[in-house]
Amino acid sequence: KNEVEQSPQNLTAQEGEFITINCSYSVGISALHWLQQHPGGGIVSLFMLSSGKKKHGRLIATINIQEKHSSLHITASHPRDSAVYICAATRRNNNDMRFGAGTRLTVKP
Amino acid sequence: EPEVTQTPSHQVTQMGQEVILRCVPISNHLYFYWYRQILGQKVEFLVSFYNNEISEKSEIFDDQFSVERPDGSNFTLKIRSTKLEDSAMYFCASSEQGLRSNQPQHFGDGTRLSIL
């Protein structure tokens, strides 16, 4: 079983829709990361969370430590949000990261 | 804005040859990382590096891999005797503090390694 699971694998939305991507993890973590991978392959770090909620522009990330679950929300989605969104966990007893398989988001105009 | 730079963007190498992938982290960053992504698969952690030594490595990072910070600016990943299955995109990243902190990592654009 993968230590970090994401859903859905693929997501298609219309411009303006509210988007939610989910991440569940089975390991003890010290931090949870949300990353964005552009069609060209480049990776950008969006959020690092160890508790609660963070917001940056139209993006919101939440984490529930007890349930081992995190969500990434995009409000008022736009075609330029089209990318692969990756959840990754820094394991508590190690200083490495475990990655989810990514969610491919396509936002249509 | 400062960025992590990786060279080359694409490296083609014959199986069995040694390859060195190069990265220039952001200048005030202290923690450095290598990741790989085989085509169509998820990103995998290879190694983290701090204070001139490896701080963590994954089960993938076996004896054929090594990392080095040969001078004050470069951070390199060497693969000693490449195999076909080493073909992947390799990403370098750096951060001011370690993975457990709230400081984000900054990623390079990656080097696509093709083993023939």
Question: Does residue B101 belong to the interface with chain A, where contact is any CB pair within 8 Å?
Answer: yes
Residue A69's CB is within 10 A of a number of other CB atoms, namely 15
Q: How far away is chain B from the Cα of A17, in angstroms, using its nearest Cα?
A: 27
A29: Cα separation from own chain's centroid: 15
Vertex B24 angle, CA A40 and B42, to 5°: 40
The string of pLDDT tens digits covering residues B4-55 is 999 999 999 999 999 999 999 999 999 999 999 999 999 999 999 999 999 9
SS3 for A36-94, per residue? EECCCCCEEEEEEECCEEEEECCEEEEEECCCCEEEEEECCCCHHHCEEEEEEEEECCC
| B72 pLDDT more than 90 | no
Provide the shortest C-alpha distance from residue B41 to chain A (in Å).
7
Amino acid type, B113 = L
Find chain A residues with C-beta within 8 A of B58's C-beta: 96
Positions of E strands within chain B? 5-7, 10-13, 19-24, 31-37, 43-50, 53-57, 65-68, 75-79, 88-95, 106-107, 111-115
Mean pLDDT, residues B85-93: 97
- What pLDDT does A58 receive? 97
When CB atoms are compared, the residue of A41, A42, A95 closest to B100 is A95
Residues in chain A predicted with pLDDT less than 70, given as ranges, are 1
Give the number of A-B residue pairs with CB atoms closer than 8 Å: 63
In this predicted structure, the answer to whether residue B71 has a pLDDT above a threshold of 90 is no
CB B113, CB B54: distance < 8 Å: no
Distance CA A45, CA B42 (A): 16
Comparing C-alpha atoms, which of A23, A27, A31 is closest to residue A7?
A23
pLDDT confidence of residue A2: 80
pLDDT of residue B98: 81
Between strands B88-95 and A43-49, the pairing is: unpaired
Q: Which residues of chain B have a CB within 8 Å of the CB of A98?
A: 45
Q: Using 50, 70 and 90 to split pLDDT, how confident is the model at B70?
A: confident
Which residues on A lie below 8 Å from B93 (Cβ)?
43
Note whether B39 contacts A: Cβ–Cβ < 8 A.
no
Confidence at residue A17, expressed as pLDDT on a 0 to 100 scale: 97
